Amino acid sequence: MSQPVSIHQIQAQFGTDSANYEVLTDAAIRSKGVEGAAVEIGVRLGGGLQRIIDGLVESGQTPEKPVFGIDPYGNIEYYRDEIFKEGRCDYTNEMRDVCMINMYLYCRQKNVNFYMFNLEDTEFFTRYADGVPVYADYKQLVNKYSVVHFDGPHTLGALDAEIAFFLGRSDPGAVFVFDDVEMYEHDAVHNQLLEHGMEIAMETPRKWSYFKKEHVDKKWEPVVGTPGWEPNATQYTPVGGPSFNYKIDL
């Protein structure tokens, strides 16, 4: 009969499907001293969220700063980007379960207060427009965001809704990270971000990050793309997820 192992003896395993994840760790570190939760839209197998957590831990922001993950899973159809268009991406509930095993294990080891929202981004915006109740010694209504990773649908329409929600709920110093910028017309988003008080922090082939230099009292208007614009990304193969067969002594 196998003996239970300590929770700290188990290596959490996270899959990724992109590149330039150092941008996420840098963004989390930059957010030190800024009020609000760290959030990722599009968790998938958790590799991006792991890098955000690493930055928060490295800069001493945990467990005080909560971490939110937003992803519906369920293998639903949605318009992903301008390359793959509409369809199913095999983001199944089984993938969710494996990711959550790893994520909650990792957060337990790192002393991170993590909340998973099994929702589409638009559902989250509707249900938590007035804030997210967070419980840690006392009840707190969190309605500010200090670092946001935009890794959900890579379309201008989806990004419009996401940026409009988070921009007004972030203070100067907050950091926004945009993934797979070559899969949609990011230049159009970039120009409007600058008009709303954001400045570039890091620019890499796959991810761009911005920090909020000042608050601009200006409504986010829908981004207008360039007629005939074509994406320049190539298809990549996602990394498979891990499996567990441990007895865990909690």
Which tokens is 43 given? Answer: 């968790």
The 3-state secondary structure of 16-65 reads CCCCCCHHHHHHHHHCCCCCCEEEEECCCCEHHHHHHHHHHHHCCCCCCC
The confidence score (pLDDT) of residue 89 equals 84
- pLDDT of res. 249: 55
pLDDT the model gives residue 243: 59
- Strand bridging mode 145-150 / 175-179: parallel
* pLDDT value, residue 4: 80
Question: Which amino acid does the sequence have at 10?
Answer: I
What does the H/E/C string look like for the chain? CCCCEEHHHCCCCCECCCCCCHHHHHHHHHCCCCCCEEEEECCCCEHHHHHHHHHHHHCCCCCCCCEEEECCCCCCEEECCCCCCEEECCCCHHHHHHHHHHHHHHHHHHCCCEEEECCCHHHHHHHCCCCEEEECCCEEEECCEEEEEECCCCCHHHHHHHHHHHHCCCCCCCEEEEECHHHCCHHHHHHHHHHCCEEEEEECCCEEEEEECCCCCCCCCCCCCCCCCCCCCCCCCCCCCCCCCCCEEC
83-114 pLDDT, tens digit each: 778 888 889 999 999 999 999 999 999 999 99
Answer for the pair 107, 114: CB distance below 8 angstroms, yes or no: yes
Nearest to 196 by CA among 163, 230, 151: 163
What is the amino acid identity at position 216?
V
pLDDT tens track, the chain, 250 positions: 677 888 888 999 999 888 999 999 999 999 999 999 999 999 999 999 999 999 999 999 999 999 999 999 999 988 888 777 888 888 999 999 999 999 999 999 999 999 999 999 999 999 999 999 999 999 999 999 999 999 999 999 999 999 999 999 999 999 999 999 999 999 999 999 999 999 999 999 999 999 999 999 999 999 998 988 988 766 544 555 565 555 555 5
